[in-house]
Amino acid sequence: GSLERRRCLYLQTGRACCQMVEVLLAALVLVCSSVSCGSAGGYTGLPALGGIYYYQYGGAYSGFSGADGERAQQLDQRFSLLKLPIARAAMAVGGCLLVFPCVLILVGVLRVPWHFPAWLLIECTLCIVIAVGTVPALYYFLHSLLSVYNSSVCREREQLYQSKGYQGFWCSLHGAEIAAGLLGCMAAMAYLLSAGLAVRDYRTVQKQKQKPLQ
């Protein structure tokens, strides 16, 4: 009855909307990170997947023969291994950022902040820590990727594919990785906003609890 209605009303508050935006941003970061991880191997494994790139280029390593084909495959594998830890770390962070606001939404729906107002101060502190921690995490993510793209493996791989007329194997950040960085910045701002809303709601709850019962 009235309890269920009050729980649903939480989803209409500014704090809940901010948390839902955080869920969306975290899901997009997770997707972009998985794309970065999945695209690291060039043509390797594409025939098994039936991917569009396989058909677009007429078959995996179709322009290579003999030693060049083996070298291209080796470079793909080495390049993939260089990017894999970075992509996995980004996916792990994205997964954590996806779970955390979901927990906050559940806590809000269960009206825990009303019964335990100090939780809002804890929530504010956690949001600030996440927002501040996102900055060095993004720096590490982009710096590590640029280190991989500046490696001799990537340069040799790029030259080998270009010698066969293939495009799209440049040693630079691609769209999904740039999008992950931008989404991370947006998530940091969303968490700062969420921290401010938590402080505001804490003051509101305290004032309401001080009023005499009607």
String of DSSP letters for the chain: -HHHHHHHHHTTSHHHHHHHHHHHHHHHHHHHHHHHHHTTTTTTTHHHHT-HHHHHTTSTTTT--THHHHHHHHHHHHHHHHHHHHHHHHHHHHHHHHHHHHHHHHHHHTTHHHH-THHHHHHHHHHHHHHHHHHHHHHHHHHHHHHHHTSHHHHHHHHHHHHTT--S--SS--HHHHHHHHHHHHHHHHHHHHHHHHHHHHHHHHHHHHSPP-
Range of the domain at 97: 2-210
The total of structural domains in the chain comes to 1
pLDDT 10s digits, 147-161: 999 999 999 888 888
The least confident of 15-19, 37-41, 168-172 is 37-41
Q: What is the pLDDT of residue 4?
A: 57
pLDDT 10s digits, 178-193: 999 999 999 999 999 9
pTM of the entire predicted model:
0.80
pLDDT 10s digits, 90-117: 999 999 999 999 999 999 988 888 888 9
